[in-house]
Amino acid sequence: MIKISSLDDIVKNGLCIGCGLCKSIAGNSLQMEMSDKGNLEPKELKPISDETLEEIKKVCPGVIAEGPVQNKENEGSKHDDIWGYYYDLFYSWSLDPKIRFQSSTGGLLNGLSLYLLEKNKVDFIMHTAGDKDNPMQNVVKYSYNREDLLNCESRSRYGPSSPLSEFHKALDKKQTFAFVGKPCDAGAIRLLSKSDKRVDQYCKYIFTLVCGGFQELTKSQEFIESFNVKEQELKEFRYRGFGNPGRMYIKTKDNREFDKDYNSFWGDESNWKVPFRCKICPDAIGESADIAALDTWRGGSPKGEDEGFNAVITRTKKGIEIFNQAVKEGYIHKGDKLTIEDIKDFQPHQTSKKKAVFARHLGMKNKNLPTIETKNLRIEELYKMNDDEFNKQQQEGVAKRVGN
């Protein structure tokens, strides 16, 4: 199998997710650039040292993914072969009607973030928001108050983003914060905490969503082009929200408005433009987070609009503690208890992918290609439980995608 000896090896083999942690580590030696395909990728402005490359490889989600081991933070929790460690499963949503309506689902993560800010549990929230100058693209956002947090396009951003590109800058502030991002981002932060003690000192909470992958920017460009709109004409761009799931919506600088229903973007999987790294992701369910939020559509897709209902997975003791405090203080509603079977019904594609991932990794190895080193995520154990024909299909399918 090819050994990863450069950042280019990660990118050209489809392993880069564009998170930007390499940029955060390497500083001005790197910048994140949008590729022709519509993915954010690192570009070396000057050669990075072998020492820096090794530092990056220890935390890069394109090189390594680790789940939590049993420790004091998840002591006494339940465990599932697919979903990992968890304590409690509930329906949940923000008790602020505006947040609940405008958020992607029920406003759970916004509600928790607002609680942390207003009760001085952290100094700021580090998250992703839409770029005001380029609304279809994303920027890193530091929110210090309600207006910062809610007055930006921060609901589900299904395009490429580099949420960790400024993570070391966040640590350098020497202020406490919560991070809200994708599962792969959460895993990378946990890996970084092994070598940088400041992570646990300042990054007090990690919240994530259960992730179906994001779309390359070219998919969003196709959407706006269907209305004969160009990117430079945009004033607003949102993927969902203002209802659950809400409609995809754009507004131009000259106040023309266009929208389509959510399923027009996600309904036909054959038209997805998901990065290859998402297709071989060993943890799309947020096992490294303190709290994970997810949609609650039976069978895995929305049948219409509703008021907005999240499910919450509390994965650590401090996740339980902060969730219950937010409930007690009136920021979050704690609804009916759920079972792990409910979660699997809400997210059937996550169950299928978790079972398929190890075979997909084998397909890459059989083509002498690098893949993600994976620990504590049970993908090999699940592979051994699968039907042989299923494993064969997944292995051969990846082999065909990556070519001869």
Tokens of 166: 């400024």
Measured CA to CA in angstroms, residue 167 lies from 109, 203, 238, 288 at distances of 20, 10, 25, 17
Q: How many helices (H) and strands (E) does the chain have?
A: 17, 17
> pLDDT tens, 249-285?
999 999 999 999 988 877 766 677 899 999 999 999 9
The CB density around residue 31, as the number of other CB atoms within 10 Å, is: 15
**pLDDT for position 125:** 98
pLDDT tens string, the chain, 404 residues long: the values are 678 999 999 999 999 999 999 999 999 999 999 999 899 999 999 999 999 999 999 999 999 999 999 898 999 999 999 999 999 999 999 999 999 999 999 999 999 999 999 999 999 999 999 999 999 999 999 999 999 999 999 988 999 999 999 999 999 999 999 999 999 999 999 999 999 999 999 999 999 999 989 989 999 999 999 999 999 999 999 999 999 999 999 999 999 999 999 888 777 666 778 999 999 999 999 999 999 999 999 999 898 999 999 999 999 999 999 999 999 999 999 999 999 999 999 999 999 999 999 999 999 999 999 999 999 999 999 999 999 999 999 999 988 877 54
Q: What is the pLDDT of residue 403?
A: 56
The token pair at 144 is 């210090």
Predicted TM-score (pTM) of the model is 0.96
CB 183 within 8 A of CB 283: yes
Q: Residues 267, 230: contact at Cβ < 8 Å?
A: no
Fold held by 78-216+270-348: Aspartate Aminotransferase; domain 2 (3.40.640)
Two tokens at 69?
Answer: 């081991």
| Helices within 159-252 (DSSP H only) | 167-172, 183-192, 198-202, 217-225
pLDDT at 404: 45
Task: Tell me what pLDDT residue 273 has.
Answer: 87
CA–CA separation, 216 vs 401, rounded Å? Answer: 17
CB 287 within 8 Å of CB 211 = no
Domain boundaries, the chain: 78-216+270-348
Peptide bond into 245 cis (omega under 30): yes
Closest by alpha carbon to 101, among 301, 247, 291? 247
Query: Which secondary-structure segment (H or E) carries 127?
Result: strand 124-130
Q: Is the dihedral of CA 121, 126, 127, 131 positive or negative?
A: positive
Angstrom distance (rounded) from CA 404 to CA 391: 19
> Tokens representing 381?
């154990």
- What's phi and psi for 311, nearest 5 deg? -105, 145
As a whole number of angstroms, the distance between CA 30 and CA 252 comes to 33
pLDDT in tens, 4-56: 999 999 999 999 999 999 999 999 999 999 999 899 999 999 999 999 999 99
pLDDT at 268: 67
| H helix runs in 175-311, sequence order | 183-192, 198-202, 217-225, 263-266, 276-279
For the chain, the C-alpha Rg in angstroms (whole number) is 20
Q: Do the Cβ atoms of 345 and 298 come closer than 8 Å?
A: yes
